[in-house]
Structure 1
Amino acid sequence: MMERKRVGIVVFDEVEVLDFCGPFEVFSATRLDEAQRRNEPSPFDVKLISETGEPITTSGGMRVVPDESFRGCPKLDILCIPGGWGTRRERNNTLLMEWLKIRAAEAELLTSVCTGAILLGSAGLLEGRRATTHWKSLDWMRELFPQTTVLDDQHVVEDGTLMTSAGISAGIDLALKVVARYHGEEVARATARHMEYPFPETNMRRVALP
């Protein structure tokens, strides 16, 4: 039987929709055998997690029902932290910060999309590491976390078991890199093709910085 990796994506009020839906789509759409796409599950078991397990409202007004609460969440292999306007509030959420520290220590891979990196930094998880975030928040990130090397030329920054990505749609590219890390580039390319999404041939940041 296939060993499925459990992916936990944290959601909160005013989370950016594509920040979490992009990775969710990639992980749930992945197949090890394209010919068996309708008959076999993804090698990733994806769960949405919120603090209480109650529905949250995204930045665009979408109502989302999470699968798990912090308290009831099972062990995670991959932890993904999206961003959005709600990160301004959540970075001061003591419960979230403590939960992130515990779960990051247990996970095989810690990832973030956009300003989700601000939450990782606020939890002390970026000290001495290389990371990135949305282009509008790069300077803010440098000010907040002087012990972090903030890169502005890469779309996805890989630092061992830590992966951070640029803004919003970059979460798709990050998730494809995670797929390639676990199952090889051929599977990642097949996933991108199924989604009709261009496989990232380069890791250069797509947006020209001001």
Structure 2
Amino acid sequence: MSYIIDIVLFNDFETLDAFGPVEILGKLPDIFKLKFISMEGSLVESSQKVRVETNLYKYEAGVERILIIPGGNGTRENIEDESFISFIKELHNRAKYTLSVCTGSALLAKAGILDNKKATTNKKAYKWVTEQGEKVLWVKEARWVRDENIYTSSGVSAGMDMTLGFIEDLFGKEKALETCQRIEYIWNEDSKYDPFSKLYE
């Protein structure tokens, strides 16, 4: 089985939100083909001034797709953009799995994708994010949360732990640990361990 990974980028996205998962998934090129997309298919700049060339989304019949939504300061502007929220909803509906990092879950919540589902987000921005989806079953203490085919993570670096958890769910723990070894990363394997949930109370 192989998948196309659609990584949605927008101006002022958080660099590690996107490139943490990209580093991990990119170590499995026979399984995952990475595509950076945006609404305009143009050059996009992260909060850290990293510029990325993106493409327009291209539908391909019969191809399994995975959607990744990073967070960052840009989510606060895009949350008010109805066309962008509709874009996210359309991509989710075509994806087999949807993963969001940090405040990316605010965009999913605004689109109604997380209604009646468990989800988490960045704990420093927890109040703002949870206001975007009153029907979401927000989990305050969690490194990442899975509800059926949707994965949401806490802030920034938590996206890497979530992605490794995703690989474990699909291909087993040995594959996740093998990937950790290749990038010399110490994986926080417990999705419920979240010291940051208390830090900002």
TM-score (norm 2): 0.92
Q: 1:171 to 1:42 in 2, by over 3 A?
A: farther
Cα distance in 1 for residues equivalent to 2:135 and 2:111: 13
> Does residue 199 of structure 1 match 2:199?
no
What's the counterpart of residue 25 of structure 2? Answer: 27
| Contact preservation (8 Å) 2:161, 2:189 | no
1:89 to 64, 74, 77: 77
> Which secondary structure state, in structure 2, belongs to the residue aligned with residue 197 of structure 1?
coil
1:177-196 mapped onto 2 (5 Å cutoff): 177-196=165-184
TM-score (norm 1): 0.88
Report runs of 4+ in structure 1 exceeding 6 Å deviation.
Answer: none
| Contact preservation (8 Å) 1:81, 1:112 | yes
Question: Shift of residue 112 of structure 1?
Answer: 0.3
* One-letter amino acid matched to 1:129: K
> Does residue 69 of structure 1 match 2:59?
no
Cα distance in 1 for residues equivalent to 2:85 and 2:189: 35
* One-letter amino acid matched to 2:88: L
Unpaired stretches in structure 2, ≥5 consecutive residues: none
Question: Shift of residue 73 of structure 1?
Answer: 5.1
Cα distance in 1 for residues equivalent to 2:132 and 2:96: 26
Cα RMSD for the two superposed structures: 1.5
1:109 to 97, 102, 122: 97
What's the counterpart of residue 199 of structure 2? Answer: 209
Deviations 1:143-189 (A, max 9, x none): 23221111111101111111100000111111111211221110011
> Which secondary structure state, in structure 2, belongs to the residue aligned with residue 47 of structure 1?
strand
Question: Shift of residue 138 of structure 1?
Answer: 1.3
What's the counterpart of residue 130 of structure 2? Answer: 142
Instruction: State the identity as a percent.
Output: 32
What's the counterpart of residue 14 of structure 1? Answer: 12
Question: Shift of residue 76 of structure 1?
Answer: 5.3
| Contact preservation (8 Å) 1:11, 1:56 | yes
What's the counterpart of residue 123 of structure 1? Answer: 111
1:28-67 mapped onto 2 (5 Å cutoff): 28-30=26-28, 41-66=29-54
* One-letter amino acid matched to 1:22: G
| Contact preservation (8 Å) 2:2, 2:64 | no
What is the number of residues matched between the two proteins?
196
Cα distance in 1 for residues equivalent to 2:136 and 2:83: 23
Question: Shift of residue 62 of structure 1?
Answer: 1.1
Question: Shift of residue 13 of structure 1?
Answer: 0.3
Q: 1:130 to 1:6 in 2, by over 3 A?
A: same
Cα distance in 1 for residues equivalent to 2:91 and 2:78: 16
